[in-house]
Amino acid sequence: MYRYDAFDRRFVEERVAQYRDQVRRRLAGQLSEDEFRPLRLMNGLYLQLHAYMLRIAVPYGALSPEKLRLLAKIARRYDRGYGHFTTRQNIQFNWIKLEETPDILAELASVEMHAIQTSGNCIRNVTADPFAGVADDEIEDPRPYCEIIRQWSTLHPEFSFLPRKFKIAVSGAAADRAAVRVHDIGLYLRRNEAGEVGFEVLVGGGLGRTPMIGKTLRGFLPKRRLLAYLEAILRVYNEFGRRDNLYKSRIKILVHALGVEKMREAVEAEFAAMDDGPLALPAETIAAIAAHFAPPDYAVPEPGEEAALGRALAAEPALARWVKHNVAAHRAPGHAIVTVSLKPPGRPPGDASAAQMELLADLAERYSLGEIRVSYEQNLVLPHVRRRDLPELWRRLGEAGLATANIGLASDIIACPGLDYCSLASARSIPIAERLSEHLASRDQEIGELHIKISGCVNACGHHHVGHIGILGVDKNGEEFYQITIGGSADENAALGAIVGPAVPSAEVTHAVDALIEVYLDLRRKGERFPETYRRVGAQPFKEALYAPA
Amino acid sequence: MPHPHKPSAPPLAANAGASPDATRRVITGNRLRDGVPVYFAGVGRWSRALTEARHVAEAEAEALLAEAQAGAPPHPVVAPYLIEVVVRGGRLRPLSLREEIRAFGPTVRAAEP
């Protein structure tokens, strides 16, 4: 894991001191809310329905036990005992007091964390594959590049007041576990015909009011030129992106308006005008950052470990189910990647209590070489677990309500905070997710992989556009209705879902989802996932089932 | 919409002049120091309880808002604004779901600490 150097530490501590003085002046009436708002937002502090909300950056989703324990401490001391992991691998606390925020930021700085650039029209937290560095389908670990981008983009003077917020995701694997294609810039590590590793650069993806899939701007970019090319894209966006209309201000609108060819021409012209100077990434610079992410020393599995695990799985069907769904292949022999579900049936997706965070910090030290990751799907990952330890880990997780065996299944629902917390929301998300997960949990095995995603407004923090089944809350004359989309996908074959028909009332959402699932189960071919069935048979059977007269 | 996890709003305190089911106006905002929703109770006082809010007819709403916004900085409340409420069964209820949730809290159960 990257450790702050003296520059990082001083910069974050100075920011805390600046912010403490800003809060003091605000509380003393020396700053108006109009003056203070941009200052607090630069430090991740929003004002929501019930209190201030603090969004804390988890760079590329990487946490240490020390950091997770500090988050648990914040939950206990400054909030109501829990936190909410978000679809951008961050954590939010919903019940924060303004007067306590300087102390919270100071506590965060003590473990090399902050809330800078988790809001505002700047480059936000860079996200990554939560299996980075351990996935068996990976070309190269994306984390060093995420860290390089983080350092380049933090307080970048040219890009601190962009037309709108800007999100970057990076993946180094064949499977896309970072929703790369729906980011302002998406980066895939690719190997070219000469065997060199570089980047495929996508631009103009995004969700929100006008969802779009990113387009490839460069099929292969040498690593050395990564920052120069990113800077070229940002410069074009900064110059030509719209500032006159909030709803047309994201780079996806610029790419759409120009067309990808003209966008490419503009970026390449800017790129060509740059020399290979300060923005160049020499191999030794990359290596120095990559050293922070060097693989740990994995224990060599002992003879008989796998056989013992096999016996445990045969003896305990619930353990076998959990291993089947929550455990992924690891590149090191005898090891596994464990995804800890934060989606127990009937509970808010992505929430973790302070006690659960503390337990996970302990378990990460005991079983995962001291590493935890946050996934954009609002779960936590223990990336270095010995396979022989899986039964014991499962038991300990189960004691804390953390052994739900549902990763990638129907009850593993993404949901934004919605109208229960968020001042932008049009309708509630969490109660819909709770009802659905409770209802669908018993059918998870039968249904198989299914991604349901729920947003409480068009801003789409719940990624509904790319759900196999997407649910969007809307306000119709004061009543909550839910618009349903089908066929979306956030993976390497990303697609936007299509609206099935008129929105349904809140009370009918579960019935509607049931109807769609029944059509899928009825029509699917062996091994076919929901989006594939939808693409093969079209929308009509789903529409007929959803809107059939009672 | 009945709030599923909260007790019903407490009875309305003395705040006369409203007929049952008439739409009234109340001033609300979030308290500066901690962000909690508060309601203008008149005479410079803000209350966490909607039941204590001063409520007026539409014609008097702007004057009430001006009174709530008055005073030297620091104002204790961020960006006060008007909401619609109804007096029903002797209690004040916000007309919008958003304000109902602000007044009585989230409709979901949080994780146990």
Segment B17-29, tens digit of pLDDT: 556 568 999 999 9
Q: How far apart (Å, rounded) are the C-alpha atoms in residues A162 and A238?
A: 6
Exposure string over A9-19, b if 16+ CB within 10 A, otherwise e: eebbeebbeeb
Strand (E) or helix (H) holding A534:
helix A530-537
Name residue A233's amino acid. I
Sequence-ordered strand ranges (E) for A115-196: 127-128, 168-171, 185-191
Q: How far apart (Å, rounded) are the C-alpha atoms in residues A444 and A466?
A: 20
Model confidence over A342-401: pLDDT tens digits? 999 999 999 999 999 999 999 999 999 999 999 999 999 999 999 999 999 999 999 999
Say if residues A433 and A349 touch (Cβ distance below 8 Å): yes
For residue B109, the chain A residues in CB contact (below 8 A) are 347-348
Average confidence (pLDDT) over A243-263: 97
Strand (E) or helix (H) holding A353:
strand A351-353
Task: Output the pLDDT for position B11.
Answer: 38
CB count within 10 Å of CB A177 equals: 22
Q: Where are the domains of chain B?
A: 23-104
Task: Please report, in tens digits, the pLDDT of each residue of chain B (113 residues total).
Answer: 444 444 344 434 335 555 656 899 999 999 999 999 999 999 999 999 999 999 999 999 999 999 999 998 899 999 999 999 999 888 899 999 999 999 999 999 776 65
Task: Output the pLDDT for position B111.
Answer: 67
Q: Does B2 touch chain A (CB under 8 A)?
A: no
Q: Does A24 touch chain B (CB under 8 A)?
A: no
Exposure string over A95-127, b if 16+ CB within 10 A, otherwise e: bbbbebbbbbbebbbebbbbbbbbbbbbbbbbb
For every residue of B49-63, DSSP letters joined together read -GGG---B-GGGHHH
Q: What is the chain A residue with the closest CA to B76?
A: A27
- Segment 126-145 of chain A within 8 Å of chain B by CB: none
Please report the domains of chain A, with CATH numbers, ordered by start residue. Answer: 6-110 (3.90.480.20), 134-292 (3.30.413.10), 305-399 (3.90.480.20), 414-546 (3.30.413.10)
Q: Does B70 touch chain A (CB under 8 A)?
A: no
- Segment 477-536 of chain A within 8 Å of chain B by CB: 478, 480
Q: How far apart (Å, rounded) are the C-alpha atoms in residues A322 and A390?
A: 10
Model confidence over A13-40: pLDDT tens digits? 999 999 999 999 999 999 999 999 999 9
Q: Does A353 touch chain B (CB under 8 A)?
A: yes
Q: Does A543 touch chain B (CB under 8 A)?
A: no
Which one of A27, A49, A348 has the shortest CB-CB distance to B74? A27
CB contact under 8 A, A348 and B111: yes
CB contact under 8 A, A76 and B37: no
Query: What's the gap in Å between the CA of A98 and the closest CA on chain B?
Result: 5
Query: What's the gap in Å between the CA of A30 and the closest CA on chain B?
Result: 7
Nearest to A348 by CA among A422, A415, A425, A444: A415
Respond yes or no on whether the N-terminal peptide bond of residue B74 is cis (omega within 30° of 0): yes
Which one of B34, B74, B113 has the shortest CB-CB distance to A353? B113
Q: How far apart (Å, rounded) are the C-alpha atoms in residues A203 and A207?
A: 13
- How far lies A337's CA from each of A170, A301, A360, A401, A503, in Å? 19, 15, 14, 19, 39
For every residue of B62-106, DSSP letters joined together read HHHHHHHH-SSSSPSEEEEEEEEEEEETTEEEESSHHHHHHHH--
Model confidence over A418-448: pLDDT tens digits? 999 999 999 999 999 999 999 999 999 999 9
CB contact under 8 A, B97 and A28: no
Say if residues A389 and A397 touch (Cβ distance below 8 Å): no
Longest dimension (CA), chain A: 69
Helices (H), A219-333: 226-240, 251-258, 260-272, 283-290, 305-315, 317-326
pTM as predicted = 0.95
**Mutating which of B32, B69, B84, B93 best tests the A interface, going by the most A Cβ atoms within 10 A?**
B32
The answer to ipTM > 0.90 is: yes
Q: Dihedral, CA atoms, A340, A341, A342, A345, nearest 10 degrees?
A: -150
CB contact under 8 A, B35 and A26: no
Residue A450 is given by DSSP the state -
Q: How far apart (Å, rounded) are the C-alpha atoms in residues A152 and A286?
A: 13
Give helix A6-27 / helix A101-110 axis angle, nearest 10°.
170
Which one of A28, A81, A420 has the shortest CB-CB distance to B108? A420
Query: What's the gap in Å between the CA of A52 and the closest CA on chain B?
Result: 5
Which one of A52, A76, A348 has the shortest CB-CB distance to B113? A76
For residue A99, the chain B residues in CB contact (below 8 A) are 33-34
Q: What is the chain B residue with the closest CA to A343?
A: B111
CB contact under 8 A, B33 and A27: yes
Model confidence over A153-183: pLDDT tens digits? 999 999 999 999 999 999 999 999 999 999 9
Q: Does A343 touch chain B (CB under 8 A)?
A: no
Query: What's the gap in Å between the CA of A83 and the closest CA on chain B?
Result: 9
CB contact under 8 A, A49 and B37: yes
Model confidence over A468-526: pLDDT tens digits? 999 999 999 999 999 999 999 999 999 999 999 999 999 999 999 999 999 999 999 99
Which residue reads 């409520």 in tokens? B55
Q: What is the chain A residue with the closest CA to B48?
A: A50
Query: What's the gap in Å between the CA of B58 and the closest CA on chain A?
Result: 20
Residue A503 is given by DSSP the state -
Name residue A429's amino acid. S
